[in-house]
Structure 1
Amino acid sequence: MFPKDWFAWGDYTLTADTTTVHSGKFSGKIKATKAGSFGSIGYRIPANYEGTSIQLEGYMKLKNVANGFGGLLIRIDDDQKSIAFDNMESQHIKDTKDWQHYSITLPYPREAENIFIGGILTGTGEAWFDDFVLTIDGKDVQTLAEKEKPVFKATLDNEFELGSKIDVPKLDEALISNLELLGTVWGFLKYNHPEVCKGNYNWDFELFRMLPNYLKTTNKIERDQILLQWISKYGELDKCTECKKTSPEAFIKPDLSWLNADDLNPELKNKIEYIYQNRCQGKHFYIKKGGAGNPDFSNENIYYSLPSDDDGFQLLALYRYWNMVHYFFPSKYLTDNDWNGVLKEYIPKFINAKNKFEYELASIELIGEINDTHASTSVGFSNVQYKRGNLYPPILTQFIDEQLVVTDYYKPELKGASQVETGDVITHIEGKSINTILDSIRPYYPASNDAAKRRNIAYDILRSNKEQIRIDYISNNQKKAALLPLYEKSALNMRWYKWTDEPCYKLLDGNIGYITLAFIKEEDIALIKETFKNTKGIIIDIRNYPSTFVPFTLGSYFVSSTTPFVKFTKFNLDNPGEFNFTAPLEIPKDAETYRGKLVVLVNEDTQSQAEYTAMAFRAGANTTIVGSTTAGADGNVSSIYLPGGLLTNISGNGVYYPDGTQTQRVGIIPDVEVTPTIEGLKKGRDEVLEKAIEVINE
């Protein structure tokens, strides 16, 4: 267990040692587990200090360090990359050494955003670290006053916080087209114009300021002149000497095809092209890179107290979301509908929303257009959630063979009250057929694929604000009806109903190891390797969300050599809309390689980190994936707020196999496809697990 807020980098074993210390109660210990890799214990400090020089001092002890080195480290980042770094590699400190004092000194960059300090070990052996002191210009950072954060003009503008004062006239085709063009230009300027980039303007409110005149335009000539005057308000741009053309190797290139419209004023077109050629570079007020290179939509005002029917804010929500996806969603090209046509389609839906409920519905439907299971709509959508119901059934359901089937109970003691048995098929709810209900609610459940959409619908379909609902169902080939009681969520322990204190691993008959990642802990991994090293095969169940990140620590046990398993696409902050592939990540070879078969179990509950983990295990030569389509949503999540406090997400990085095969929407495709059957459920069988055992025994 580490001290509070310290974290681990790399693949080695990192612990807090209470016996070998320089002073105090414990030191940080790194023990090599494989040659050629590294381990580091680190701590992040926001760079909220003024100064010109930074120094890290500390004590280090080494034991049998070979083929590498031990050292202190400092890494300083801006909001995009590392800008200063030293880990003492050049000092070649190795072998066995008792506690000694070391230090690193670096220039302290003015643009620093984060400071990372720590200790590092490469090669083989052990290292201990203690008594770190970080100083800037000779003064301990713990005694320094934090520098004042810059105040941006955009944050001082609060003119429209209580309402946009925009009333959009009755829509016709011409006005819809004009509003489509405005939304496209507004978003382009938001992410490309240097003055917006600097935070000199509240770009939401600049929209509200120009809209009244824009809404009065009667022809395209007048429309384009208003746009030209609006752009001119923000001054002439200096020539950009750092703006690079889009890389020919870029996987996704910026889409400015809208500039080719025949009716667009040539002067306006030239003006926009000039801005693009001299666009913002570096730090941006409205967008930055997150920790994993995914988009971080900073400084977006949430407007919790949104008026219930405000044309301006509803239009702003559409513009904001459409442009975020247009420039920063790595899987925009995979959506069912061409994203370029979505903006125009949704203008009437947002403008005609008469109240908060209709606005939430329009937002959910728009969010569903990106076909991403990460695009949740549970936070902030209070009216929709109330409509779905605040009471829940005591049973779990799942779509099997196109039918809604009872699969489990949240609380066994409520089984009798539910009146249904595992394997029963629900055909109607409150007199409506399941297919009719599906058709009516399908657009309001965003998902990458049908498997994930049905999973999410099955979770909600029996919700209500009534204390009981009528269901019609088929049990043992007989048609039946019942009043199903519903309960408060807290009474059902829905999130933890499967939790157990039992180990995450066990030995099955036939000398086969079984591991569920739902409860796995870091300390289990060494025990698993030792316990299962002589088994015929190992089954890893990822029909869940892993409780610990194990792609490298456990994945390395199943590869016979260092093996690439994944690569990403990440956006270019200096060229919004451009995405490029990273180099593939590799699973390092462990000191010992498992020689039996590995079978990994997946289904629609396998999502995000679970899918990433399955990719890591698939890198092994003896791995077989068994089960059914996964959720098809991988890549670090980026959060998006829309006016009214609506929170949703996107998969912020594109995730691919090393050969470029996509995983978004597709998910992890099983080598052997198996799905549960109704008859199997009735008999209490786990048919996916049975197939895994069969594969190992082949």
Structure 2
Amino acid sequence: MARFLLFLCPMCLLLSTTFFPLMAQPSEQQTRRLFFLCKVWGYYKYFHPGLAVCQGPDWDFALTEAIESIRRVPSQQAFELALERMQQYLPPLEQPSSPPPNLNNRLTYKLQLDWMEDEFLPRQLRTQLLQLREAFRRQPHCNVETGPDGRSLLFAREAPFPAMVYPNEAYRLLALFRFWNAVEYFYPYTHLLSTNWDESLMQMIPAMIAAPDSRAYHIEVARMLKRIQDGNAYLISPEFNQLIGMYYAPFELDFVENQSVICRVAGFETQLKPGDVVLRINGMPIQQLRDSLRSFAWGGHAAGTDELINDWLIRGPEGAFEIEVKNESGTHTYQKRRELDAFGFEKALPDEGAYFKRLPGNFAYIDLKRLNPSRTNNVLSTLLRGKSTPTALILDLRHTSLNFFQEFAAQFVPQSTTFALAAYPDPQFPGTLSLELEQQTGFSGVLYDIALFLIIDESTRGGGEFTAMSLEPYEKLLKIGSPTAGSVGAHLSSLRLPGGINVLFNTQLTRRPEGEEVHLTGIEPDLLVQPTIQSITQGKDALLDAAIAQAKPSTGRVSVVPFPNPCTGFLNVLVTPATASHISVEILDYTGRQLRSYELQNDRAIFRLDLSDLQSGYYLVKSTEDGQVAVHKFHKQ
């Protein structure tokens, strides 16, 4: 029995969130009253000019007072009286002297205000809300301002109430209502959420009321963050850090082939090896642990969520724990210790070597997660100039969140090219976004003309994804790996919540030039490559090996890779030929009828084929090298 006291902290979370007794739950009718209270309070907060200067009423207190009244007396009359009392905190609404706002220069007017006319609300309140709607004019707001980067938002004056480690019910609902309204008016991706944002509010109200202690409250905040499906979000809280754990096991995990696999071990660890499959921790099946954490681990898609879970699984309180693993020699159980903090953990892992270097075969390599942007030009000059120019450059964007697009795209894309459209929420006009700005590559005066390979996966997020997008116009580019985190953008907005919690989320709207969404889906690779248990066991980097293999001249038949697949107007063809005397590439329909024919030079190259006039459908790329034929399928959208 004693060993269960040494559970990994996520296991404690599993037990505490599964078996705690529920507090008095609101009825469906009472939940609906709180739902409308949230909407009314939030609309007044961001649109009433008397609340925009932060010198008037304590609007948070007005909300908590209304919540307590509604919860204390569960009747429609008490609900309407609570709304009326809350409104009494507001200064009189003055009539505007300027004309109504012109929305023609707004990219998005995402306000959904039909709820104001719902007959569940008192008639007088509905009239007052519509009057405020008509009277609103764009205005500076003390509670939401543009951050130092000119793009992100700061909700700097929101009181965090740090002493409330476990806020009472009213302040827990304040946390929910504050977050819900910030997302409603300033998060540009509510239209992509898997659950309607109004429906999420109805579900989160009883869950937040039910949280019986500090641990459960912080988990509910994490679940709120999970609902916006932002792979670049963060939850910063001393209490939450303690829940997950401040100390690290002597290994790193990856989720490979649907199993939790040790991928790196600390230098002092002698029993656990890369490639070991974790079966149990302290007797708890690892999949059960993953499932418990998945209920509040956030991410843009499943792979991104698993990456966060991998980190949480190896963390816990300082001390001993038991781990059961499986490898080629059988099943083994070991006693290990968590005694490294985050800094010590990073130092204990094997040295990754130089972050930029020449690889055998005359290739250059840069690990962007360790590159300081200010060093980019020096690193490129060192690697790509000199007596022996490399034949290819490999940029490793794994675990990269910084934005390098200005540093790299300007030196590979030969002319100003639009690679994305971006827009940002307007803090002075909630619910709208600025005009969509074309994100363009520039020209630095130094231009490199070699094959470029990007290594990407679910750990490539935010600015790293933006960097990948900026290089996509480069004709000699190939992206290798798996889809990125699906949260493109480098501008995170910060919002404080009761309990000393700070949540950060992406408020940059990013699309491709033709309008295609990249949020949630991420940047797709041209060549899908993922690690395997075997490659990890053998100490290989499957993605880097694939990039090197594509860069190397072939010693056999021609290798043809069409990308992107699916494609739109253009199809790139990566050709790695042998020393053949004749190489041809044909585009065929599915009956084998030839539609295009190309004769290619006998050297390694990437060719861009204009297929804009082809109809949508599936086609074949047929390559021939001295009579030997290879065929690939691709999809034209």
TM-score bucket of the superposed structures, by smaller chain: 0.7 to 0.9
1:61 — aligned with what? none
Instruction: Give the superposition deviation at 1:592.
Output: 4.1
Given the alignment of the two structures, is residue 675 of structure 1 paired with residue 515 of structure 2, yes or no? no
- Give 2:38's aligned residue: 183
Q: Distance in 1 between matches of 2:519 and 2:381?
A: 31
* TM-score using structure 2 length: 0.77
Q: Please say if residues 224 and 268 of structure 1, whose CA atoms lie closer than 8 Å, have aligned partners that are also in contact.
A: no
1:263 paired residue number: 120
Q: CA 1:503–1:432 in 2, change beyond 3 Å: closer, same or farther?
A: closer
Q: Distance in 2 between matches of 1:511 and 1:357?
A: 54
> Equivalences for 1:186-205 in 2 at 5 Å?
186-199=41-54, 200-205=56-61
Instruction: Give the aligned partner of residue 535 of structure 1.
Output: 390
Q: Does 1:325 align with 2:180?
A: no
Q: Spell out the pairing of 1:525-564 with structure 2 (5 A cutoff).
A: 525-529=377-381, 531-532=383-384, 534-545=389-400, 550-564=404-418
Residue in structure 1 matching 2:450, options 589, 593, 596: 596
* Correspondence for 1:571: 425
Is structure 2 residue 247 aligned with structure 1 residue 395?
A: no
Q: Is the 8 A contact 1:429 1:462 kept in 2?
A: no
Gaps of 5+ in 2: 1-22, 553-575, 577-637
1:282 to 133, 139, 147: 139
| Closer/same/farther in 2, CA of residues 601 and 275 from structure 1, 3 Å limit | same
For 1:603, give the aligned amino acid: D
Whether 2:63 is the aligned partner of 1:207: answer yes
Partner residue, 1:313: 171
Q: Where do residues 217-228 of structure 1 align in structure 2 (5 Å cutoff)?
A: 219-220=75-76, 223-224=79-80, 226-228=82-84
- 1:613: which partner in 2? 467
- Between the aligned partners of 2:134 and 2:73, the Cα distance in structure 1 is 29
Give the letter for the 1:463 counterpart.
Answer: R
The one-letter code sitting in structure 2 at the alignment partner of 1:263 is F
Kept in 1, the 8 Å contact 2:481–2:530? The answer is yes
Q: Structure 1 counterpart of 2:536, which letter?
A: L
Match of 1:358 among 212, 216, 220: 216
The residue number in structure 1 matching 2:241 is 385
**Against the structure 1 CA distance between its residues 491 and 446, is the aligned structure 2 distance closer, same or farther, given a 3 Å change threshold?**
closer
User: How many Å apart are 1:690 and its aligned residue?
Assistant: 1.8
2:361 counterpart letter in structure 1: G
Q: 1:530 to 1:430 in 2, by over 3 A?
A: closer
Q: Is the 8 A contact 1:598 1:623 kept in 2?
A: yes
Per-residue Cα deviation, 1:270-315 (whole angstroms, up to 9, x for no partner): 2111101212532112112223322221210111111635122111
Report how far residue 436 of structure 1 moved.
1.3
One-letter code aligned to 1:203: W
Q: For residues 190-215 of structure 1, what are the alpha-carbon distances to aligned partners after superposition, in whole Å with 9 as ceiling and x for unaligned?
A: 00011111221221112234445444
| CA distance in structure 2 between the aligned counterparts of 1:498 and 1:638, rounded to whole angstroms | 34
1:503-523 Cα offsets, whole Å, 9 max, x none, are 532222332222222333434
1:487 and 2:342 matched: no
Q: Quick one: structure 1 residues 531 and 303, their matched pair in 2 at CA, closer, same or farther if it must change by over 3 Å?
A: closer
Structure 1 residues 495 and 267, CA gap change in structure 2 (3 angstroms): farther
SS in 1 for 2:233: coil
Note if 1:428 corresponds to 2:280.
Answer: yes
State the match for 1:658 in structure 2.
Answer: 513
Gaps of 5+ in 1: 1-167
Which residue number in structure 1 is paired with residue 304 of structure 2? 452
Partners of 1:388 and 1:235 in 2: CA distance = 44
Specify the alignment match of 1:506 in structure 2.
Answer: 357
The alpha-carbon distance between structure 1 residues 503 and 219, as it changes in their structure 2 partners (threshold 3 A), is closer
Secondary structure of 1:518's partner?
A: helix
In structure 2, distance between residues paired with 1:477 and 1:261: 66
Question: Among residues 437, 440, 446, which one is paired with 1:583 in the alignment?
Answer: 437
Identical positions, percent: 23
Distance of aligned partners of 1:387 and 1:294 in 2 relative to their CA distance in 1, 3 Å threshold: closer
- Structure 1 residues 305 and 615: CA distance shift in structure 2, 3 A: same
**3-state DSSP of counterpart to 1:515:** strand
**Following the alignment from structure 1 to structure 2, what is the Cα–Cα distance between the partners of residues 388 and 520?**
29
Deviates more, 1:388-397 or 1:194-203: 388-397
Question: 1:515 — aligned with what?
Answer: 366
Q: Following the alignment from structure 2 to structure 1, what is the Cα–Cα distance between the partners of residues 234 and 292?
A: 19
- Cα deviations across residues 592-631 of structure 1 (Å, max 9, x unaligned)? 4322211111112212121121112223121111111222
The 1:242/1:302 distance shift into structure 2, 3 A limit, reads farther
Where does residue 602 of structure 2 map in the other structure? none
Shift of residue 532 of structure 1? 1.9
Decide whether aligned partners of structure 1 residues 279 and 479 sit closer, same or farther in structure 2, where only a CA change above 3 A counts. same
1:644 is displaced (CA, Å) by 1.0
SS at match of 1:649: strand
Which structure features the higher share of helix residues? Answer: 2
Deviates more, 1:503-512 or 1:429-438: 503-512
Q: 2:635 matched to which residue of 1?
A: none
Q: Deviations over 1:118-145 (max 9, x none)?
A: xxxxxxxxxxxxxxxxxxxxxxxxxxxx
1:324, distance to aligned residue in structure 2 (A): 0.7
Q: Is the 8 A contact 1:601 1:625 kept in 2?
A: yes
Aligned to 2:325: 473
- 1:173 aligned partner, one-letter code: E
Q: Tell me whether 1:338 sits opposite 2:193 in the alignment.
A: no
Aligned: 1:303 with 2:154: no
How far residue 243 of structure 1 moved from its aligned partner, in angstroms, is: 3.5
SS for the counterpart of 1:444 is coil
| CA displacement at 1:566 relative to structure 2 | 2.2
TM-score by length of 1: 0.70
Count of aligned pairs = 523
